[in-house]
Every structure is written in structure tokens, then in C-alpha cells.
A = this chain, B = another copy of it.
């Protein structure tokens, strides 16, 4: 028997936004691999082994998943959101590149609803024009690259989505990011803090860069910034399709 590796997106948290193809892949899996809180979302059943691992071991987890698939198992690596957006899909291909005898493993990536699009939907359509997605963590890139991207993205007048804006180990960088964005975009620009979107802990704040405070974000928050035309209508926030 030939094994398979599926890298599946569980969406932002609510079961009603998991796609049927992901549900089906989980139903026939022999092994589910992932970060502890995501594996905790998968119900146990006979014939299924759950492999929950800690954060920051993505490459080791990916290699283990590839090895099990190469040994004939039906493995599903679970990510929250979309696996291709700051999640496990890249780690799987990095692990494959580092381990040439695993290059032949059959890998399928199944998309999911990523946090920025779930958050955008909750408030209206703030990403309704050209936009970018930036991971604010400097675990895997120098902070200088982040600062440069923020300035260029502002000059391009992209709406923006920020993943991993702030953690206990690096509390000051998000404050610096907000300073840069205020410089480039001015204090009136709309910004949205969406915490634990679609879950029972969801909390969404719509404010301006002038009023934004770093403490409004944590690691479960995705932050959306409007472009120069983003506005409010009724209780919604949207970015027009037409450029100013």
C-alpha cells in the first residue's frame, strides 16, 4: 500500500467553516499530526492515532508526517486556517527538500478559510481591493524586512492583514509596526483587531491607527488595516472596489 500525506486547513475555529473535502480526509486518516490545540479539535476513533506536538517544532513534525506516509499510512497534517498561509504546508515541503528520500511522497494540500478572510467577512469587506498579508513574527525573518515591507505596502496603498502580530516574547515590535503605519498612513486610517474569530471567544474591535494600542492584539489576533479609501457604512467596514 502507498501512503499519502494530506495537509488540511481546519479554518479559524468554527466547525461550520471546515470544507467537506477536509472532513472526508480526516474520516479516512490513520494518523493526524499537528500542533496541540489543532489536534485537540479532532475526535478520537478506533484506527486513528493522534500525534499532537508543541509549537516551534514544525519541521520535525513535518518530517515525521512524511515518514509515516512513506511507510504506507494515511496521514493528515492539520493546520488552523489555510495550511498555505503562514502554516504547515511550507514546512512540509521544506522537510521534503531536507530529506531527499521523501521527495516521492504523494502530498495533497487542502485549502481552508484563513483567519484574515474570516475576520474580513465578520466586519464587512475591508480587503475588497488589492491587499497584502504579512506575518509580523520575526522568528523566521529579520525585523528589518518587516519594517521595509510595511512601508512599501503602505506606499502601494494595499489594504493589509497581519498574522502573529504580538507575543509575550516580543511585545515591543507590534508597537513599532503601529508607529510605522501611523507615519505612512496617518491617524485616521481604519484598523480592525479580530481575536479568536468565529469561536465563542471572538472579540472584534474597529478603530483608527490614532486610537490603536499594541495591547489590542495578542497571538490569537489577526489585524486588518484599511487602504486610503476604506470606510464605514452602518456597522460595517468596507474597501471600495474602485481605486481613489
Report which A residues bind B (CB closer than 8 A). 11, 14-21, 24, 58, 82-86, 89-94, 96-97, 103-104, 107, 109-114, 117-118, 120-122, 124-135, 140-142, 145, 148-149, 152-153, 155-158, 231, 233-234, 236, 238-243
Interface of A (DSSP majority class):
mixed
Among A82, A89, A107, chain B packs the most CB atoms within 10 A around the CB of A89
- Interface contacts beyond A89-B128, A93-B236, A111-B117: sample of 8 additional A-B pairs, CB < 8 Å, sorted by A: A85-B127, A86-B241, A90-B238, A94-B238, A112-B113, A132-B132, A140-B242, A149-B157
Q: List B contacts of A141 (CB < 8 A).
A: 242-243
Q: Which listed residue, B17, B85, B90, B157, touches A20 by the CB 8 Å rule?
A: B17
Given the complex, which residues of B lie within 8 Å of A134, measured CB to CB? 130
**A-B CB contact pairs (8 Å), 19 listed:** A16-B21, A18-B19, A83-B121, A85-B128, A89-B124, A89-B238, A90-B129, A90-B238, A90-B240, A93-B125, A93-B128, A96-B233, A107-B236, A109-B122, A111-B121, A132-B133, A145-B243, A152-B155, A156-B156
Q: Can you name the residue of chain B whose Cβ is closest to the Cβ of A121? A: B109
Complex CA gap A131/B84 in Å reads 11
Q: Which of B89, B109, B142 contacts A243 (CB 8 A)?
A: B142
Residues of B within 8 A of A109 (CB): 120-122, 124-125
Q: Within the complex, what minimum Cβ distance (angstroms) separates A10 from chain B?
A: 12
Q: Which residues of chain B come closer than 8 Å to A132, judged between CB atoms?
A: 130-133, 153, 156, 158
Query: Which partner residue on chain B sits nearest A130 by CB separation?
Result: B134
